[in-house]
């Protein structure tokens, strides 16, 4: 039998994930030499930060390379996967910075925490590259299992165990649904590789419509759990609230971004190769999901006085805006004729429009990553661990008069809230602008209008935090936790990113435009 050969070129795109995994192992091994009495583990966050920075830089280099298949089609290395990995590394770096102060304050800083963070990042990076269902499932699990363990990291009161357990059960359930869907698709087409699936789908739909639709639907449900789309969002508020704040931040940014990446990668062939009827069907399906997610997410966030829960629901709402982008991506009628046409996916006028939509999604993901990390970071800076078991650590009252006590923190939090609400001159505004424009260009005007209305409702609860910080007097006897330079660095970095990218998004957006290339056959 002929043995397929793998060359160095196959392994090169995995380098960022490999770096993250090596960083995790280094942290695990050095933790062995620390005793329980060791208080100062400052080196750990720096090691984790360095590894994520290097991995991000390496991934940024891969976005400039042409798209190609690696590992015999089990993975792809394309600019899109590179950009998602960069995004994950940005999220990881900020999350590590926030974690350092957060954990030190609770005397819970251990090598395993950062190791699990880096492993989760490696899983995300690999997931963005996965082009085959088995690979996709395994990498999804690498990412998920790390976050299950991380969400139960602190044992203060019942909330963390509730969060970990709930996330684990529902996450395992959704992964099982995804695998079931993938196995049905395998039954219908005889392949698990996405690149081959594209060519085999039309025949499969003709001969086995039930199996194909059910399989695709179940895969979509499995991924919708991960991105927390309504009605699969039930776990989100409890898990985000119970998990350590830096971990909630990474969940809302990294997990969501990579789940969206695989959603696009799995379902673009469906929209592209099954003809206009199916593309329209999928557009409607995802548009309905987007509408529901935007409306429910924003309405549920309205009455929340617990800021952490409010951010959780806001993360659901933002998944809705991203789904709007995904629906716009599928709304594009197919350009090339024939399922196996060897034309680049993104060629021609339609291709350019698709690339623009993908660019809008990537920009929104990046905007949401920095904003979400910043807002959870400000929350983490303000949290006092004595309040956590009673669940009052995140009450709106804690923000009252923050502008007098901590003007810097208040300014950062205000920038984040404006960005989440989509008010200029912040990156959140630009992200919403791009994604709504893509939706309007794709003919989904009604959905874009619904999105704008939903985000207008969102402005109320985001601005309420700002009002509390700047217009309410401080409560008596409120103490603020000590300053941690790492947390403050994360706040400065994310605030700078939010404002600068909001004022001048050109360079980044041009780079993301180049990176919006998916591999296709």
Partner 1 sequence: MSVENVLFWVFALGIVSSAFLVILARNPVHSAMALVGAFFFLAAEYVLLWAHTIAVLQVLVYAGAIMVLFLFVIMLLSLTDADLQPGQVTLARVVGGASAAGLCLVMVETLSKTKGAGQVIAGEQTQVFGTLAEMGRVIYTQYLFPFEAVSLLLLVAIVGAVVVAKARI
Binding site for partner 1 (CB under 8 A): 1, 3-4, 6, 21, 25, 28, 70-72, 74-75, 108, 110, 112-113, 115-116, 119-120, 122-123, 126, 132, 134-135, 138-139, 141-142, 145-146, 148-149, 152-155, 164
Of 2 and 277, which CB lies nearer to partner 1 in the complex structure?
A: 2
Residue 18 CB, nearest approach to partner 1 (Å): 10
Instruction: Specify the residue, 29 or 64, whose C-beta has the smaller distance to partner 1.
Output: 29
Angle formed at CA 243 by CA 383 and CA 316, multiple of 5 degrees: 100
CB of residue 243 vs partner 1: minimum separation in angstroms? 13
Q: Which two tokens stand for residue 169?
A: 């059960």
The secondary structure element, H or E, covering residue 71 is: none
Q: Enter the DSSP assignment of 483.
A: P
Nearer to partner 1, 68 or 483 (CB): 68
Tell me the closest approach of the beta carbon of residue 122 to partner 1, in angstroms: 6
- 4 vs 473, which CB is nearer to partner 1? 4
Tell which residue, 357, 407, 358, has the closest CA to residue 378.
407
> Strands, E, within 39-114: which ranges?
68-70, 75-77
At 476, list the tokens.
Answer: 């008596």
Cβ nearer to partner 1, comparing 35 with 277: 35
- The position carrying tokens 């397929």 is 4
Phi/psi at 68 (5° precision): -155, 160
Nearer to partner 1 by Cβ, of 388 and 488: the residue is: 388
To partner 1, the closest distance from the beta carbon of 9 in angstroms equals 13
**Residue 207 burial by CB count (10 A; 0-12/13-18/19+): exposed, middle or buried?**
exposed
Distance CA 363, CA 367 (A): 6
Q: At closest approach, how far in Å is the CB of 71 from partner 1?
A: 4
Nearer to partner 1, 5 or 479 (CB): 5
Helix (H/G/I), strand (E/B), else coil: 206? helix
CA distance 231 to 243: 21
The distance of closest approach from Cβ of residue 459 to partner 1 in the complex, given in angstroms and rounded to an integer, is 39
- Smallest distance, Å, CB 145 to partner 1? 5
CB of 165 to partner 1, least distance (A): 9
Contacts of 254 (CB under 8 A, 6+ apart): 87, 88, 91, 92, 95, 120, 121, 124, 143, 369
Which residue carries 């993975």 as its tokens?
A: 75
With a CB cutoff of 8 Å and minimum separation 6, the contacts of 188 are 204, 207, 208, 211, 212, 215
Cα–Cα distance measured from residue 228 to residue 239, given in angstroms and rounded to the nearest whole number: 11
Nearer to partner 1, 94 or 175 (CB): 175
């Amino acid at each position: 039998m002929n043995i397929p050969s793998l060359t160095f070129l196959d392994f090169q795109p995995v380098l960022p994930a490999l770096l993250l995994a090596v960083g995790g192992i280094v942290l695990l091994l050095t933790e062995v030499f620390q005793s329980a009495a060791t208080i100062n583990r400052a080196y750990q966050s720096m090691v984790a930060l360095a590894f994520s920075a290097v991995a991000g830089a390496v991934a940024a280099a891969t976005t400039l390379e042409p798209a190609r298949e690696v590992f015999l089609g089990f993975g792809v290395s394309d600019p899109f996967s590179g950009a998602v990995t960069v995004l994950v590394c940005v999220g990881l770096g900020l999350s590590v910075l926030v974690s350092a102060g957060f954990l030190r304050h609770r005397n819970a800083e251990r090598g395993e925490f950062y190791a699990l963070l880096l492993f989760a990042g490696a899983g995300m990076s690999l997931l963005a590259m996965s082009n085959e269902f088995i690979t996709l499932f395994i990498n999804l699990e690498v990412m998920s299992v790390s976050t299950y363990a991380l969400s139960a990291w602190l044992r203060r009161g019942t909330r963390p165990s509730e969060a970990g357990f709930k996330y684990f059960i529902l996450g395992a359930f959704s992964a099982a649904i995804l695998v079931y869907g993938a196995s049905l698709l395998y039954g219908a087409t005889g392949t698990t590789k996405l690149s081959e699936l594209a060519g085999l789908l039309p025949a499969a739909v003709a001969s086995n419509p039930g199996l194909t639709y059910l399989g695709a639907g179940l895969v979509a449900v499995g991924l919708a759990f991960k991105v927390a789309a309504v009605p699969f969002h039930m776990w989100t508020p409890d898990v985000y609230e119970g998990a350590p704040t830096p971990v909630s931040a990474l969940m809302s940014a990294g997990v969501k971004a990579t789940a969206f990446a695989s959603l696009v990668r799995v379902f673009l062939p469906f929209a592209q190769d099954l003809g206009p009827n199916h593309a329209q069907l999928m557009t409607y399906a995802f548009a309905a999901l987007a509408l529901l997610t935007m409306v429910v997410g924003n309405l549920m966030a309205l009455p929340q006085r617990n800021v952490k829960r409010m951010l959780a629901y806001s993360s659901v709402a933002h998944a809705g805006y991203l789904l709007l982008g995904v629906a716009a991506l599928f709304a594009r009628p197919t350009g090339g004729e024939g399922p196996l046409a060897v034309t680049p996916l993104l060629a021609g006028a339609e291709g350019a429009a698709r690339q623009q939509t993908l660019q809008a999604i990537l920009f929104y993901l990046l905007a949401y990553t920095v904003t979400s990390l910043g807002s959870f970071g400000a929350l983490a800076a303000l949290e006092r661990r004595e309040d956590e078991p009673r669940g009052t650590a995140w009450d709106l009252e804690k923000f009252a008069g923050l502008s007098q006590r901590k003007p810097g923190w208040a300014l950062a939090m205000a920038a984040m809230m404006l960005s989440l609400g989509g008010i200029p001159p912040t990156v959140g505004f630009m992200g919403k602008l791009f994604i709504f424009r893509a939706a309007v260009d794709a003919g989904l005007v009604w959905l874009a209008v619904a999105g704008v209305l939903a985000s207008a409702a969102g402005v109320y609860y985001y601005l309420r935090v700002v009002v509390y910080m700047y217009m309410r007097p401080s409560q008596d006897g409120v103490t603020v936790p000590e300053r941690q330079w790492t947390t403050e660095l994360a706040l400065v970095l994310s605030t700078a990113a939010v404002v600068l990218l909001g004022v001048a998004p050109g360079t980044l957006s041009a780079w993301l435009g180049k990176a919006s290339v998916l591999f296709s056959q």
